[in-house]
Structure 1
Amino acid sequence: MQTLRSRVAFSLLLVVFYLTLMPFVVHGFGMIGIGLSDDAARNSYLFADGQSVGNAAMMLHILTGTILVALAPLQLIRGIRQRYNRLHRALGGVLIALALITGLAGMTYIPLRGTIGGPVMSVAFFLYGLCLFTSALMLARMARTRNREGHWAWGLRLFWLALGSWLYRLHYTLWYLLTGGVGSKSDFSGPFDLVQNFAFFLPYLLAVQIWIMRNRSVHQGALVTGL
C-alpha cells in the first residue's frame, strides 16, 4: 500500500511539474526565435548587435537548458531505470551532454556580455554554470569508473542543478504571487533579487549534500544502471 501511495504521489508531482514547465518551455523557444530574428537586440536585452559569439552562446544556453530541464525528471522514474536500463543509460548520456553544453555556453556568455543584474548576478550565474558543468563531468566519470555510490551522489546533484533555471523562475512566480514583488526591481538590484541570485541553486545543493551524507550507506548501489 505504501509503495502504491508513493508511486501515485510521484506521478502527481511529475504531472504538476510538467504543467508548470510548459510556460517555461514556450518562453525558452520564444527567446531562441527572437535571437534568430534580425532585430533581436531591440526585442531582448540578452542579445546585442555585432555580438555574434555572445548571441550564439546565449541561444545555445537557452536551447540546451530548456531541453535539460524537460528531460531530467525522467531519470527518476523507477520503471525506466529497472525495466529499460539501456534507455536510462542513453538518457543519462544525453543529460550529461546537455548539462556540459548549457554550463559552458553560459560561462562563455557572461564574460563577454555580463548580466543585467551586474557583478553579483554575473558571479552567481557563473558559479551556477561551473557547478552544473562540474557535476556533469563528475557523473560521467563515476559512470566510466563503475562507481555506483558516486553515480548516485553526483546524479542527485546534477538533477537539482538541471532544474535550476526552472527553480529560478518558480521562486519569482511564487514571490510575486505572495508579495507582489516586494524587494525586486526591474534591473534585478533589489534585496530579493540579490538573494535569489544564489538561492535558486546553493540551498538545494546544501540540502542534497546533507541527504547524501545521511543516506550514503542505505543508497549504495541503489540505482540500477547496468554499470
Structure 2
Amino acid sequence: MQTLNSRVAIGLLLAAFYLTLLPFVMHGFDTIDVGFSQDAARHSYLFADGANVGNAAMLVHILAGTFLVALVPLQLLKGLRLRYNRFHRMMGASLVALAWITGLAGMSYIPLRGTIGGPLMSAAFFLYGLCLFTAALMVARRALEGDRAGHWAWGLRLFWLALGSWLYRVHYTLWYLLTGGVGSEPDFSGPFDLVQNFAFFVPYLLAVQIWIARNRSAHQKALVTGS
C-alpha cells in the first residue's frame, strides 16, 4: 500500500512539473524561432545584428537547455532505473552531453555579449554554467570509475542544476503573483533581481549538499545490500 501511495505521489508530482514546464518549453522554442528570423535583434535582446557567434551560442544554449530540463526528472525514477538499466545509462549519457552543451554555450555567450543585468548577473550566470558543466563531468567520471555513491551524489547535484533555468522562471512567476513584481526592474537591477542572480541555484546546491551528507550512509548501505 505504501509503495502504491508513493508511486501515485511521484506520478502527481511529475504531472504537476510537466504542466508548469509547458510554458517554459513553449517560450524556449519561440525564442529559437525568433533567433532564426532575419530581424531577431528587433524582437529579443538576446540577439544582436551581425553577432553570428553570440547568436548561435544562445540558440544552442536554449535548445540544449530546454531538452535538459524536460528529460532530467525521468533519470531519478527508481523503477525506471532498476527495470530498464540500459535506458537509464543511455539517458544519463544524453543528459551529461546536454548539460555540457548548455553550460559551454552559455559560458561562451556571456564573454561575447554579457547579460542584460550587467556584471553581477554575468558573473552569477557564468558561475551557474560552470557548476552545471562540472556536475555533469563528475557524474560521468564517477560512473566510469564504478563509484556508485559518488555517482549518486553528483547526480543529485546535476538534477537541481539542470532545473535551474526553470526554477529561475518559477521564482519570478511566484514573486509577481504574490507581490506584483516588487523589487524587480525591466533591466534586472532591482533588489529581487539581484538576489535572483544566485537564488535559482545556490540555495538548492546547499540544500542538496545537506541532504547528501545526512543520507550518504543509508545510501551506501543500500548499495551494499543491493536494495
The code of the aligned residue for 2:52 comes to: S
Q: Does 2:8 correspond to 1:8?
A: yes
In structure 2, what is the equivalent of residue 27 of structure 1? Answer: 27
| Deviation of 1:78 (Å) | 1.7
Greater relative CO, 1 or 2 (CA 8 Å, sep 6+) = 1
Q: Deviations over 1:101-136 (max 9, x none)?
A: 000000000000000000110000000000000000
Write the mapping of 1:35-184 to structure 2, written as runs, cut at 5 A. Answer: 35-184=35-184
SS of structure 1 residue aligned to 2:219: coil
| Deviation of 1:96 (Å) | 0.2
Write the mapping of 1:180-191 to structure 2, written as runs, cut at 5 A. Answer: 180-191=180-191
| Deviation of 1:66 (Å) | 0.2
Q: Structure 2 stretches of 5 or more lacking a match?
A: none
Quote the Cα distance in structure 2 between the aligned partners of 1:53 and 1:11: 41
| Deviation of 1:2 (Å) | 2.1
| Deviation of 1:221 (Å) | 7.2
Quote the Cα distance in structure 2 between the aligned partners of 1:40 and 1:220: 51
Q: Structure 1 stretches of 5 or more lacking a match?
A: none
TM-score, length-scaled by structure 2:
0.97
Quote the Cα distance in structure 1 between the aligned partners of 2:176 and 2:64: 27
- Superposed CA RMSD in Å reads 0.9
Quote the Cα distance in structure 2 between the aligned partners of 1:132 and 1:218: 26
| Deviation of 1:186 (Å) | 0.4
Q: 1:156 to 1:221 in 2, by over 3 A?
A: farther
Asked if structure 2 preserves the Cα contact closer than 8 Å seen for 1:132 and 1:162, the reply is yes
Q: Deviations over 1:186-210 (max 9, x none)?
A: 0000000000010000000000000
The alignment-based identity, stated in percent, is 78
Q: Deviations over 1:5-60 (max 9, x none)?
A: 21111110000000000010000011001000100011100000111000000000
Q: 1:63 to 1:154 in 2, by over 3 A?
A: same
Q: Does 2:186 correspond to 1:215?
A: no
Quote the Cα distance in structure 1 between the aligned partners of 2:26 and 2:9: 26
The code of the aligned residue for 1:136 comes to: A
Quote the Cα distance in structure 2 between the aligned partners of 1:203 and 1:170: 15
Count of aligned pairs = 223
Quote the Cα distance in structure 2 between the aligned partners of 1:54 and 1:159: 27
- Greater helix fraction, Structure 1 or Structure 2: 2
TM-score, length-scaled by structure 1:
0.97
Asked if structure 2 preserves the Cα contact closer than 8 Å seen for 1:132 and 1:158, the reply is yes
| Deviation of 1:76 (Å) | 1.5
